[in-house]
Amino acid sequence: MSTKPLFDNGWELPGIASAEKFFPVLPEILALPANLCFEGTSISPDVQSFFASHAATQILQIPLGTIWPKPSVFHVRATEQFLRQLAALAERHAGPEICDHFHAYDGNQGLMQWYDAFSGDPLLVDESVGEMKVQAFCRKLGVPYARWRAANKAATNTKQADKS
């Protein structure tokens, strides 16, 4: 289950639970147009049709987030209009009916990585997005943010537990 992250340093934004609120403010931190990747096992048919109508060529390889059942994956080219329409769809769908996992990228540059989107797990944002933008985005969503870096740079800590 080891996979490299899309980027090594950036921001983590935990607690985002509403797709309806998330997509309208996404342009605050994401320069558009950008490529978005939606992965899910229970994406609603109308949402699937919407994604399919905005399909874009997959440029970046995104590691799948679900082993089984086989997920549906859509790569789209997102504009502000696309996000407004998606937000309208999200008003009448639960998070998993939009996607389970969400990524954003521009060319070969990963910009956002979010496994278990809308579950409360943190949205990771690449460091190329400035703190002012992250701060404004988080204020609108009412969530905190913190510096994040890929964990493989962390020190190893080995200790001996008590024996019984």
Partner 1 sequence: MKALLFVGMITCLAVVGNATHRQTGIEPGNGLGMSIAPDEAATGPDKAMHFKVTFSNLRSEDLTFIPGTLIACGMTPSKTSAVKLNLTGPQGKQHRHLPYLGDGPPYHFGCAGQIEFYVVILHGGESVSLPLEIGKYVDLSDSKQYDGARFPAGKYSLQAELTTERSEIPKSMLKTTNVWVGRATSNIVQVQFASEFLAPVDDYSQ
Please give the biggest Cα pair distance in the chain. Answer: 62
> Minimal distance in Å, beta carbon 71 to partner 1?
8
Residues from 133 through 152 that contact partner 1 (CB under 8 A): 150-152
164 binds partner 1 (CB under 8 A): yes
Contact of 5 with 124, CB cutoff 8 Å: yes
100 binds partner 1 (CB under 8 A): yes
> Minimal distance in Å, beta carbon 101 to partner 1?
6
13, 23, 34, 65: which one contacts partner 1 (CB under 8 A)? 65
Burial letters for 2-38: b for 16+ Cβ neighbours within 10 Å, e otherwise? eeebbbeebbbbeebbebbbbbbbbbbbbeeebbbbb
Dist. CA 115–CA 122, nearest whole Å: 8
> Minimal distance in Å, beta carbon 84 to partner 1?
27
The residues binding partner 1 (CB under 8 A) are 1-6, 41-42, 63-71, 100-101, 113, 115-116, 119, 121-122, 124, 150-152, 154-161, 163-164
